[in-house]
Amino acid sequence: MSPRIETQYAVCDERTPPKSAFHYWADTALTDREGPTAVTIRVVDENESRTLNREYRDRDRPTNVLSFPFDAPPGVPAETTGYLLGDLVICAAVVEREAAEQGKNPVAHWAHMVVHGILHLCGHDHQTEAEAEIMEARERVILERLGFGDPYDE
């Protein structure tokens, strides 16, 4: 069963990928996940990204991607909402700027942010070197499936 991916655009211009691209990237990142899954991807401006980053991560600046895993509210059985994986918030301006600064293909960088965020929703993290190695290896495999190169190859 394909995941249910909802895409919301708070900002959108000719450089912003279409919903079909976001859906494809997220679906590919979720290939190994069993059962029904739902994810919301929201494309935002720097102000919204900064506000969310400040409120939830105590960092007063916009960032490329924020992941918000879904937690069932107290008293609601997890099995009734278990398919809700969470939300990704991607800042268009930061992604475009990073791609330019790092000499990366902008589409590949957008795909990387979706894959990176999805892996966070699935429980991966990069707080330690060991965690980062595992997560980055997983990102490389998924991005290769999507036809993109290694995002960490400098």
**Which pLDDT value is given to residue 35?**
76
Q: Read off the pTM.
A: 0.93
DSSP string, 25-89: HHHHHTTT--S--EEEEEEE-HHHHHHHHHHHHS--S--SEEEEE--PPTTS-HHHHTTEEEEEE
**Which pLDDT value is given to residue 59?**
97
Would you state the CATH architecture of domain 4-145? 3-Layer(aba) Sandwich (3.40)
The structural domains of the chain, with segments of one domain joined by +, span 4-145
**Which pLDDT value is given to residue 127?**
87
Q: pLDDT under 50 in the chain at which residues?
A: none
